[in-house]
Amino acid sequence: MIEFNHLQKVYDSTVALRDLSLTIPNGKIFGFLGHNGAGKSTTLKSLVSVIEPTSGTITVDGDNLVDHRLAIKKRIGYVPDSPDIFLELTANDYWDLIASAYQIPADLRKKRQAELSELFDMAAHADSPIGDFSHGMRQKAIVIGALLPDPDIWVLDEPMTGLDPQAIYDLKQLMKKHAAKGKTVIFSTHVLATAQELCDDLAILRHGNLIYNGSVDQLLNTMPNATLETIYLKMAGRAADQQTVNELEGSSRND
């Protein structure tokens, strides 16, 4: 179980996260929704130790991230919001780097790399530099890297961006399979149909504030016949209805 307790992040003069407290159960697919700049990446980057929150704590199965940083990092596979990293390395060099950092046994790495490269049509590109790849191919190389250690917690920041329909389908299947094994999948997305299809639980952020945390079913039940898109826009959109937010916040607290 992952717990964010009163997390706050201030960048210079921008408050990106305000007093974020929520719990992510193990074995679930958990989605972060919110407009551009709402604080989704900031939350995910805090969890994977790319940035340091200004205040508040994160615990993973009761262990404080600050005190158990390396052990927790080794349990997490991360797909960042931009795949434009390690452009000089070949895909294989990048996967080597991950295999060595996570101390993945050679035979397991070989097996997983073969399966994932095959699935994402990347086997023929393993020895090409990431910088020569299209956006979608870079994204696939990063996704493969993040899954090589078969992490307990898989964190993906807008992972479907730039992927072709087949790769999106395959990635969604992998996310479902990962959670079905009892592992935790946490992702951010702007695609509400994907969130509705995949997520057990959701957090909706607006200007760094948590405005909903609970199950997708519970949210959908609040407005019979409405889609997640309709409800989301009512809560977080341009004409956000404060009364709806208050009612849903109340119902998620009383859950």
Ligand X SMILES: Nc1ncnc2c1ncn2[C@@H]1O[C@H](COP(=O)(O)OP(=O)(O)OP(=O)(O)O)[C@@H](O)[C@H]1O
Query: For the chain, what's the residue count?
Result: 255
Cβ closer to ligand X: 143 or 205?
205
What backbone torsions phi and psi does residue 58 show, to the nearest 5 degrees?
A: -125, 130
Cβ closer to ligand X: 12 or 255?
12
Report the amino acid identity of residue 199.
C
Cβ closer to ligand X: 170 or 201?
201
Rg, C-alpha atoms of the chain: 18
Question: What kind and span of H or E run contains 105?
Answer: none
Residue 22 makes contact with ligand X by CB under 6 A: no
Q: Which of 15, 61, 22 is nearest to 42 (CA)?
A: 15
Q: Which residues contact 123 (CB under 8 A, 6 or more apart)?
A: 114, 117
Q: Point out which span in 30-38, 61-69, 104-112, 241-249 binds ligand X (CB under 6 A).
A: 30-38
Q: Which of 106, 133, 84 is nearest to 95 (CA)?
A: 106
Residue 11 makes contact with ligand X by CB under 6 A: yes
Cβ closer to ligand X: 42 or 113?
42
Residue 160 makes contact with ligand X by CB under 6 A: no
Binding mask 33-72 for ligand X (x = CB under 6 A): -x-xxxxxxx------------------------------
User: What is the residue whose two structure tokens read 């826009």?
Assistant: 233
Cβ closer to ligand X: 14 or 23?
14
Residues that bind ligand X (CB under 6 A): 11-12, 14, 16, 34, 36-42, 81
